[in-house]
Amino acid sequence: MNEKTEVNMTIGIDKIGFATSQYVLKLQDLAEARGVDPDKYSKGLLLNEISIAPLTEDVVTLAASASNSILTDKEKEEIDMVIVATESGIDQSKAAAVFVHGLLGIQPFARSFEIKEACYGATAALHYAKLHVENSPKSKVLVIASDIAKYGVTAPGEPTQGAGSVAMLITQNPRTMAFNNDNVAQTRDIMDFWRPNYSTTPYVNGLYSTQQYLDSLTTTWDEYKKRFDWTMNDFAAICFHLPYPKLALKGLRKMMDKTLSQEKKDSLQENFDKSILYSQMIGNIYTGSLFLGLLSLLENAENLKAGDKIVLYSYGSGAVSEFFSGELVEGYETYLDKDRLSKLKQRTALSVEDYEKVFFEEVELDESGSAQFAGFENQDYALVEILDHQRRYSKVEK
């Protein structure tokens, strides 16, 4: 049975961009400091480095920076919706998207809001953006997945922290990847990872969360195959939510069934290896990590071509999971940055001691609820001060 909804319009990702923070922590250094075998991180988790953000870089500045890297002035005049998906938001009321709308100078008659369901949020945002464009074909929607993943010093998740933002422009006749209208989601009310309002770091049932990730993967995948006529042979690559790449590798192995030829398995494995390159240098960026995997695949894979289909597995603790797919369009390489790996190497490395100070520093407000910040000259956008409890952001003039 093929339940794919026929939509007389192609909608998808027109452009995709990324920004991460200015500092990096080498996991070799962290392993030494924690008295752990470095192979546990590099082979056990498949991680090498993690991005570290100071106070002046948050989900708003990273979102603005990722978006600005792909948008023209004309597109800023055309966007009529800005959605920021995040689980590390900076205000319980005002949406990060409103700050981003202001920083980018998007035309005023736009809808801006935040969306949350752990690492799944951006997938829901993409679906809503697609429905909006279906309804209003000239619309352009800016969907941004922006997060800073902080588990705490010596927490089991410490080597899987990270910071980054993926921005995607969703339009009709997209120039990168068209959606296939084949989403299948699953919800389970579980407590595998959560962060109460009173806590700056999450509570994690680590092993349980990995079991839920994998069980949601196999059950949602089975349902997806049941509802549509797809098999693994239809896809050139699979992109996974990447809390750490080793877990996704386990997912890949579960999806490679006996019907696949060795050649197909090798090609899927090769593309998987390309899809984890950025995460291995950045760590978990929660809701953006699936799309960071997609970006890494598109910018580094050597055996992809227009017309190839890519299936994506989204997982957000709590938990919501989803499979959906897209098809690469002619000329999809045009808007990608093939130089990103070398740019990532330009981040400033921190010692473990400095990382502990920089990443976990808390804002100290004076009696009026204000604080001034400095040292943000290398950023594109920065939190420059808090004045009477109001966060003030600015584009950094170079």
Residues of this chain that bind ligand CAA (CB under 6 A): 37, 39-40, 43-45, 119, 156-157, 160, 192-193, 204, 206-207, 209-210, 213, 241, 243-244, 247, 284, 286, 315, 317
Catalytic residue among 57, 87, 117, 158: 87
Beta bridge partners of 145: 85, 166
Q: What letter represents residue 260's amino acid? A: L
CB atoms within 10 A of CB 364: 7
Distance CA 107, CA 337 (A): 27
Q: Closer CB to ligand CAA, residue 39 or residue 361?
A: 39
* Shortest distance (Å) from residue 243 CB to ligand CAA: 3
250 a known binding residue?
Answer: yes
Element (H, E) at 112: strand 111-115
Runs of H (alpha helix) within the chain: 27-34, 38-39, 59-68, 73-78, 96-104, 121-135, 206-227, 245-255, 262-275, 277-282, 289-300, 340-344, 352-360
Nearer to ligand CAA, 10 or 42 (CB): 42
The shares of helix, strand and coil residues in the chain, as percent rounded to the nearest 5, are 35, 25, 35
Q: How far is the CB of 95 from ligand CAA (least distance, A)?
A: 22
The response to whether 257 counts as a known ligand-binding position is no
Least gap, CB of 284 to ligand CAA (angstroms): 5
Structure tokens at 89: 């938001």
Q: Closest CB to ligand CAA among 150 and 241?
A: 241
141 vs 290 by CB, closer to ligand CAA:
290
For residue 73, the number of C-alpha atoms closer than 13 Å in the C-beta half-sphere is 0
- Which 3 state secondary structure label does DSSP give 266? helix
Burial of 2 (0-12, 13-18, 19+ CB in 10 A): exposed
Q: Per the annotation, does 284 bind a ligand?
A: yes
Q: How far apart are CA 376 and CA 63, in angstroms?
A: 16
Distance of closest approach, residue 192 Cβ to ligand CAA, in angstroms: 6
Q: Going by C-beta distance under 8 Å and a sequence separation of 6 or more, which residues neighbour residue 42?
A: 27, 28, 48
| Catalytic residue flag (residue 132) | no
Peptide bond into 319 cis (omega under 30): yes
Q: Is 389 a catalytic residue?
A: no
User: Among the options 57, 241, 299, 327, which is catalytic?
Assistant: 241
Task: Kindly tell me which of 39 and 77 has the beta carbon lying closer to ligand CAA.
Answer: 39
Backbone angles phi, psi at 283, to 5 degrees: 90, -160
Nearest CB to ligand CAA, comparing residues 102 and 206: 206
Active site residue 119: yes
Least distance in angstroms from the C-beta of 36 to ligand CAA: 8
* CB 247, min distance to ligand CAA, A: 6
Q: Is 380 annotated as a binding residue?
A: no
Token code pair at residue 56: 């002046």
Binding residue positions for (3S)-3-hydroxy-3-methylglutaryl-CoA:
37, 151, 250, 284
Q: Which residues are catalytic?
A: 87, 119, 241
Binding residue positions:
37, 151, 250, 284
